[in-house]
Structure 1
Amino acid sequence: MNTGLIGTRYAKALFDFSKKNKSAERVYVEAKKVSESFFKFSQLNSVLENPVMLKAEKKKIILMAGGGNVSLTFTRFIDLLLQNNREYYLQSIVLRFIDLYREQNNIHFGKLTTAIAIDESTVKRMIAMASLETGGILEIDKEINPELIGGFTLEVDFKRWDASVSGQLNSIRKEYLQKNRNIV
């Protein structure tokens, strides 16, 4: 069976179960922590795939990846996964759950890249600006890239705002080259 199909089915089940138990927001936070754990610890998937490891140990590892003190809803869902031998699909399940939750709650995800570290009030103003554009709530990942020289880039969904010095210099360079091509 297709990994994406299994992940989607279980994610929908978790989403419906968490909504029914009024714990969707908490499960969303836990799912994000588990997702981050998969990216931080590349061995996590192979550990869950290991047929020799006891299910109790796998459960303990998954719950620790979810932040340790996880909700009863998430714990019961992990029990279901382990009972059905679907722990290998956990990464695709939590990623799809995160997508479902964001769609349902009009949450957009973005990436803010700046040349230097900026204060929280500036970040909040940028989030407010982008939220007006997207019409929803905005979650931001922040990154520092000195190659921007100055300014920032903000990517949300499929939109990109480039207010960086390097972006402006590249724009000027392209315009200059285009004008000089027409002369020759």
Structure 2
Amino acid sequence: MNIGLISVRYAKALLMFAQNNNKEDEVYAKAKFLQDVFVNTKALHTALENPLLSKQNKRELIITASGGKVSDVFMRFINLLLENGREACLQSIMLQYQEVYNESKNIIRGTLITAVEIDDATMSMLKKSVEQKVEGTLELEKTVNPEILGGFILDLDFIRWDASLSRQLNSIRNQYIERNRRII
């Protein structure tokens, strides 16, 4: 079984069903929450793969992992997964749902790495500037890494903008080394 293909199909179907019921934002929030639970609770995936657990126990487990209260749309999705024996694919489906949701809403996810913590005004100015260039909504996660010395690194989906001081210093160092090699 190809989990990637299955996950994409289920995620797209869930998005269409959620959009038809105007619940796509609510399902997106559940998908993000559930994904965090999967990352922090390794035993959840193992439990969903366990053939000894009944479908009812797995249903209750998924609902509990989702925060206890789920919408009718999400409950129907859970039931569909359990009927088709695809509960082991839930984590992958939640990841794919976030991807197709972001694509449908033109949301670009990214990470901003800085040497020091930046204030909200700087963050919003940078975010607004990048949103104009990419013509979409930006969902940024901030990370502090003192090793870059200064500047920032912005990772957006498949684009990386490295304006860090450490990269610039490395570039200068490499140019200096290259010039000295020619002399010798």
SS in 2 for 1:141: strand
Partners in 2 of 1:86 and 1:99 — Cα distance? 19
Q: Which residue of 2 aligns with 1:68?
A: 68
1:146 matched to 2:143? The reply is no
Q: Which residue of 2 aligns with 1:21?
A: 21
Give the length in aligned residue pairs: 184
Amino acid paired to 2:105: N
Q: Which residue of 2 aligns with 1:48?
A: 48
Partners in 2 of 1:92 and 1:144 — Cα distance? 28
SS in 1 for 2:42: coil
- Structure 1 residues 23, 52: CA separation in 2 closer, same or farther (over 3 Å shift)? same
Identical residues among aligned pairs (%) = 47
* 1:107-148, Cα deviation, whole Å (9 max, x unpaired): 111011111222222221221122122110111122111111
Q: Which residue of 1 aligns with 2:161?
A: 161
Partners in 2 of 1:182 and 1:132 — Cα distance? 44
* 1:18-39, Cα deviation, whole Å (9 max, x unpaired): 0111111111111111122222
**Larger deviation: 9-18 or 55-64?**
55-64
The alpha carbon displacement at 1:57 in A equals 2.9
Unaligned segments of structure 2, at least 5 residues: none
Amino acid paired to 1:125: M
Partners in 2 of 1:64 and 1:139 — Cα distance? 27
Q: Which residue of 1 aligns with 2:81?
A: 81
Partners in 2 of 1:64 and 1:141 — Cα distance? 27
* 1:78-111, Cα deviation, whole Å (9 max, x unpaired): 1211122210010111111111111111111101
Q: Which residue of 2 aligns with 1:116?
A: 116
Q: Which residue of 1 aligns with 2:39?
A: 39
Q: 1:91-130, aligned counterparts within 5 Å?
A: 91-130=91-130
The alpha carbon displacement at 1:59 in A equals 2.1
Partners in 2 of 1:165 and 1:55 — Cα distance? 54
Superposed CA RMSD in Å reads 1.6
- Structure 1 residues 60, 126: CA separation in 2 closer, same or farther (over 3 Å shift)? farther
Partners in 1 of 2:11 and 2:81 — Cα distance? 11
The alpha carbon displacement at 1:3 in A equals 1.2
Where in structure 1 do 4 or more consecutive aligned residues deviate above 3 Å?
none
Partners in 2 of 1:156 and 1:68 — Cα distance? 33
Partners in 2 of 1:40 and 1:47 — Cα distance? 14
Amino acid paired to 1:84: N
